[in-house]
Amino acid sequence: MNETLAQSIKIDGMEPSILEALLHFIYTDSLPDDRHADDRHTEMQHLLVAADRYGVDRLMAICEGKLRRSIGVQTVATTLALAEQHHCVHLKRACLEFLSSRDVRQGVKETDGFKHLVTSCPSVILEIFDKPPPQS
C-alpha cells in the first residue's frame, strides 16, 4: 500500500514518454500526434513492447503495422529481433522479405542492430541466410 502514499510510482523498463503514449491510447483509442517524427520507428518499437506487456492487442497491431511500413536498412535488424521476441508474425515476415535482397543483407550486416540480432535471436540469422534468393 505504499503506492497510496507515494507521489509517483516507478514503472521499470519503460520511458515516461512511452507510458504517456500508452495511456493516451488507452483513454482515446488513438496514438499521440507525431511529436518526434524523426525517432518514430524507435518509439513504435518501445510502444509495441509496452502494448504486449500490458495486453493492449489493438495498440500492438497498430504498432506492428506502422513498423512494417517503415522498415529500412538501419532498422530492419532490431525490428526483426523485436518481432521474434514478441511473436509478431506479420512483422517478422515483412522483415524477412525486406532482407531477401543480397545487397540489402550486406548493408544490414554492417549495422549495430545486426550485432544485436545475432546475440539476441541467433536462430533468425539462419532464416535470413537459408532463404533462397528471389527468382529473376
Can you list the domains of the chain with their CATH numbers? 13-130 (3.30.710.10)
CA distance 22 to 47: 7
- Which residues, including other chains, have CB under 8 Å from residue 64's CB and lie 6 or more apart? 48, 83, 88, 90, 91
pTM beyond 0.85: the answer is no
pLDDT in tens, 60-117: 999 999 999 999 999 999 999 999 999 999 999 999 999 998 899 999 999 999 999 9
DSSP sequence for 43-94:
HHHHHHHHHHHTT-HHHHHHHHHHHHHT--TTTHHHHHHHHHHTT-HHHHHH
Confidence label for 4 from pLDDT (cuts 50, 70 and 90): low
